[in-house]
């Protein structure tokens, strides 16, 4: 994990790769796809309550949310 929050305990309550389905406590899987790159939806997922982001190397959501 990277990011400022990486050293804290996380309470992940769900996982999704669709930012529209993110609820508070979710991990958002920002996966590059054939049609679109899921990393472009990271800001939306964070606004909806994502506590962490799973993405390929180099994915950096922000300083408050760890990248797994």
Write the pLDDT tens digit of every residue in 27-61. 999 999 999 999 999 999 999 999 999 988 877 76
63 within some domain: no
Write the pLDDT tens digit of every residue in 4-24. 555 467 899 999 999 999 999
Q: What is the CATH number of the domain that holds 35?
A: 3.40.1390.10
| Neighbouring C-beta atoms of residue 54, cutoff 10 Å | 18
Residue range(s) defining the domain that contains residue 40: 4-54
Q: What's the domain count of the chain? A: 1
Looking at residue 58, its pLDDT comes to: 76
64 within some domain: no
């Amino acid at each position: 994990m990277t990011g400022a929050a990486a050293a804290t305990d996380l309470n992940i309550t769900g996982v999704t790769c669709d930012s529209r389905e993110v609820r508070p406590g979710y991990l958002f899987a920002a996966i590059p796809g054939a049609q679109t790159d899921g990393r472009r939806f990271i800001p939306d997922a964070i606004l909806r309550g994502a506590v962490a982001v799973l993405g390929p190397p180099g994915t950096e959501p922000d300083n408050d949310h760890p990248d797994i």
